[in-house]
């Protein structure tokens, strides 16, 4: 059986409980962060330029999961829904939606403005967001709109709901939308 008091004296020079607590308080516990804020900004810049997650992870000497954690960190906690505007398997624009305050925030993950949700617009308004949804949907003025809505099981024209049903796909391009609703905690 080990004598822990002796071990504490050998390691820390004391076996006094209060002194050991002071020493423990000075030591920083836990893992240190794998990437600094500067590293994260550079990783985001690399991703925007089209560098893959694996290559970015290799550059920093960390796992793909670690890089993904930093690159996919939500822009804000106030959002209720996140829309990832996709091209093939690549996220082109992350859209964070706050319905209560009618606000959105975006992160463009590509420099290709043709694949971005809002093109060159870096700070879209709520009206820009509504226009984006309607552009990805059939027009509200379309002939036989009621018939189309009945066929898809809807009573009224709601572009967001329609896009959730068809993943935001249109015949004009190869882009689509992944929808994620933030879970609410029940108390």
Instruction: Please provide the DSSP assignment of the chain as one string.
Output: ---HHHHHHHHHS---HHHHHHHHHHSPPSPPPSS-HHHHHHHHHHHHTT--HHHHHHHHTS-HHHHHHHHT--S-SS-SEEEEEEETTEEEEEEEEETTTTEEEEEE--S-TTTSTTTT-SS--HHHHHHHHHHTS--TT-TTHHHHHHHTT-SS--HHHHHHHHTT--SS-SEEEEEEEPPPPP-
**Strands lying side by side in the sheet with 103-108:** 103-108, 90-98, 81-87, 175-181
Query: How many C-beta atoms surround the C-beta of residue 43 within 10 A?
Result: 21
Burial of 129 (0-12, 13-18, 19+ CB in 10 A): buried
Residue 43: per-residue pLDDT: 86
pLDDT number for residue 187? 36
Which residues, given as ranges, of the chain have pLDDT below 70? Answer: 1, 27-33, 73-78, 183-187
pLDDT for position 28: 60
């Amino acid at each position: 059986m080990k004598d822990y008091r002796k071990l504490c004296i050998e390691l820390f020079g004391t076996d006094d409980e209060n002194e050991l607590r002071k020493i423990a308080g000075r030591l920083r516990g836990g893992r240190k962060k794998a990437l600094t804020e500067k590293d994260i900004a550079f990783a985001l810049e690399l991703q925007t330029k089209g560098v893959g997650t694996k290559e970015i992870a290799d550059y920093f000497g960390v796992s793909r999961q670690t890089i993904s954690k930093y690159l996919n960190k939500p822009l804000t906690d106030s959002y209720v829904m996140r829309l990832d505007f996709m091209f093939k398997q690549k996220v082109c624009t992350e859209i964070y939606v706050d319905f209560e305050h009618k606000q959105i925030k975006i992160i463009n993950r590509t420099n290709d403005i043709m694949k971005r949700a809002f093109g060159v617009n870096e700070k879209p308004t709520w009206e820009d967001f509504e226009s984006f949804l309607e552009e990805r949907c059939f027009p509200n003025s379309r002939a036989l709109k009621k018939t189309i809505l009945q066929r898809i099981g809807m009573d009224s024209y709601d572009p967001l709901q329609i896009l959730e049903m068809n993943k935001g796909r249109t015949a004009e391009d190869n882009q689509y939308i992944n929808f994620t609703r933030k879970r609410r905690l029940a108390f």
